[in-house]
Amino acid sequence: MDLTRYLPPVLALVVVLALCVLLAWWGWRRRAARQGDLPELPQPVAGGKALSWGSEPGSAEGVYVATTLAGRPLERVTARGLGPRSRASVSDADDGGRPVLHVERQGAASFLVPWADVRSVHTASGMVGKWIGGDGLLVVRWQLGSTELDTGFRLDERADQDRFLALAARRLPADQRPSADPSGPPPSDPALPSTDPQPRKELP
């Protein structure tokens, strides 16, 4: 059997795949360059020595899905290392007297979201990188420099999502308190059993 006749189409396929990867990489780099005016991500003071954690709601494990421009769930932000999806933990913390959300990511840069910069906390059915339906994502809308961002998490446990929504209701002014994505269905009542259509725990 002459296998050499299969060589040209196989090589052509390899070239096409390589071009696709190259174009994706180039598009990612261009997007990051366009977003280059974003400030550096907030980091703990004194290298984290001033960080402390309360007991409630503690640390929630899940997936950091993406960060997008606020209200534009398909416009991914890749600058400042915000692009890669990864496993992550989210914690309510105190950074030398500054209340913050501490986002620790595996294989990507960790960062803080100061509560003073949070504009709202809501649920959403999806964003670039993850579409679920219902209210499966926890989304923090916050200000970085002059740009408003939406940072989305898919937490492993529904109870953790409900606890962070309750925390935001205590932390934020009345007009910024948790809500559902206005384009999606209303959130489920935390007192009722979760109706998530799929198991929450997942790999990035």
pLDDT number for residue 193: 38
pLDDT means per 10 residues in the chain (204 residues)?
Answer: 68 73 60 73 90 78 96 93 95 94 95 96 93 92 96 96 93 77 43 50 68
β pairing state of 118-124 and 137-144: antiparallel
What are the tokens at 121?
């906390």
Using DSSP's 3-state secondary structure scheme, residue 39 falls into coil
Whole-angstrom CA distances from 44 to 77, 111, 112, 154, 183 are 22, 8, 7, 24, 35
What does the pLDDT read at residue 22? 65
Give me the pLDDT at residue 97, please. Answer: 92
pLDDT of residue 181: 59
pLDDT at 119: 96
**What 3-state DSSP class applies to 161?**
helix
Q: Which pLDDT score is estimated for 104?
A: 96
What confidence score (pLDDT) does residue 204 get? 67
Contact 74, 128 (CB under 8 A): yes
- Please name the residue ranges forming H helices in the chain: 7-34, 158-171
Which pLDDT does position 188 carry in this prediction?
39
**From CA 171, how far away is CA 179, in angstroms rounded?**
14
